């Protein structure tokens, strides 16, 4: 059976990666409201697709460079619920790069089927750590760092420093 869970619209627009997913029955409670943990899964899928669109697959990073990208910290704010059959869009932006860490901001929105404007559902601030096989921090590979840096909005970074 073909899993059509994710509608793979994965494009970049002004340094923001967009990923769409449909909300299915297994992601909701008896009232049709999305479980709070499902947003973390959807955000993970969006981060993975953002990396894939830059030419980096998680399994290849593990196999070829012996590194893993793992969540170090995640701050989630639930603004409004999503419901069964909603179409949601995750907007992912890389905020900052450090030696062994990537700061990522994501927002999840219900998109245009019920209302004329997108509804903000969830915001996430996540730090991803680069670790080796033993779980110890390891510097981000140069090619990965350069690819991510090319998507960071330099103007936004300068505004946060000033």
Q: The whole model's pTM is what? A: 0.86
Residue range of the domain that includes 93: 6-154
Catalytic residue, candidates 26, 29, 85, 118: 29
Residue 162, domain member (yes or no): no
Q: Tens of pLDDT along 1-58?
A: 344 445 555 688 888 999 999 999 999 999 999 999 999 999 999 999 999 999 999 9
pLDDT tens string 109-141 = 999 766 667 899 999 999 999 999 999 999 999
Q: How far apart are CA 103 and CA 139, in angstroms?
A: 14
- Domain membership of residue 161 (yes or no) is no
The CATH number of the domain holding residue 63 is 3.10.129.10
User: Are the C-beta atoms of 108 and 39 separated by less than 8 Å?
Assistant: yes
29 belongs to the catalytic site? yes
Evaluate whether residue 116 is within a structural domain: yes
Residue 136 lies in a domain: yes
Query: Nearest-CA neighbor of 125 among 148, 93, 152, 97?
Result: 93
Report the candidate in 47, 117, 106, 97 with the shortest Cα–Cα distance to residue 75.
Answer: 106
């Amino acid at each position: 059976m073909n899993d059509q869970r994710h509608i793979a619209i994965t494009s970049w627009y002004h340094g923001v990666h967009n990923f769409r997913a449909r909300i299915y029955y297994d992601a909701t409670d008896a009232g049709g409201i999305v479980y709070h943990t499902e947003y973390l899964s959807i955000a993970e899928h969006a981060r993975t697709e953002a990396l894939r669109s830059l030419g980096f697959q998680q399994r290849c990073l593990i196999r070829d460079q012996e590194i893993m990208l793992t969540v170090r910290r995640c701050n989630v704010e639930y603004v409004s619920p999503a419901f069964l059959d909603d179409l949601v869009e995750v907007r992912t932006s890389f905020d900052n790069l450090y030696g062994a860490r990537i700061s990522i901001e994501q927002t999840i929105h219900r998109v245009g089927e019920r209302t004329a404007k997108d509804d903000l559902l969830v915001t996430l601030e996540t730090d991803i750590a680069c670790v080796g096989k033993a779980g110890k921090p390891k510097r981000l590979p140069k090619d990965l760092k350069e690819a991510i840096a090319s998507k960071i909005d330099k103007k936004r970074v300068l505004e946060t420093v000033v």
